[in-house]
Amino acid sequence: MTSIAVLGAAGRMGRRLLALSSEFEGLRLAAALEHSGHPDLGRSAAELAAEPALESTNVVLTDSFDTAGQIDVLIDFTGPAATRAALETCQRSKTAMVIGTTGLTDNDHRLIDDAAKMIPILQAPNMSLGVNLLFALAAQAATRLDQSWDIEITEAHHRFKKDAPSGTALGIVSAICDATGKNADETVAFGAYGADPDNAPRQPGQIGVHSIRMGDVVGEHTATFAAMGERIALTHTASSRDIFARGALKAAAWLGGKSPARYRMGDVLGL
């Protein structure tokens, strides 16, 4: 049995993680965590998640990791600053981490790399099992097609999303570049190309990345490969945030007991 804590447990994703944790027989919810001063501190996890099955856990929302009891894996869907603090805490307590936080910087990834020398960490820009299969399929397609094929990645999310492009779109870029040996910094063209006729045409080998923000879109990602006369589009559409929560919980169950290292969702899926 793997004991888990949910950081940011009173947020939208946190509440779904609490509620869905009861679906996983190999997991035990041991703690629900929020920042100091949060108005919901002291409320039960069952009440926060509107999930009666959690009443038997006796877990209440707290701001202290030290009083959370024995934790095997911390699941973190917060923000970069909170993730940095959690990395320090988990290293001290030897607690594994599943990180679903987006908007991480290169420095944040270096901190994760360093922490993964001491504790097992699974970090992914998207916890959906389907999206991680999309990463693998996009990488495979890119290795089979030459530079006469243009690559365009588009992503759409709700109007409230704080980062652009999405971590998932960058994950597709990373998967393609890792598979083809390309340098993402030299290959990616973000957004529109502008009115300059010298810069507007697509350059051979570039990867275009485009973001759309509208309404309540949960998440849509498409990797399009196009040549003269034909086009291949690989698309993943999310209709519920529960897919991210279930993926993270599956990752937590898989990560419990692993050796210190940095893992990815592809490892969970055997990809």
Q: Contact at 8 Å (CB) between 263 and 256?
A: no
Ranges of beta strands (E only) in 129-239 are 150-157, 188-190, 207-213, 219-227, 230-238
Alpha carbons 250 and 253: distance in angstroms, whole number? 5
Given the residues 94, 109, 117, 157, select the one marked as catalytic: 157
Ranges of beta strands (E only) in 50-192 are 61-62, 73-76, 96-99, 120-123, 150-157, 188-190
94 is catalytic: no
Alpha carbons 16 and 95: distance in angstroms, whole number? 22
Kindly compute the dihedral angle of the four CA atoms of residues 218, 112, 81, 160, in this order, to the nearest 10 degrees: -10
Token pair for 88: 């320090």
Q: How many helices (H) and strands (E) does the chain have?
A: 9, 12
Given the residues 38, 161, 210, 258, select the one marked as catalytic: 161
161 is catalytic: yes
Annotated active-site positions, please? 157, 161
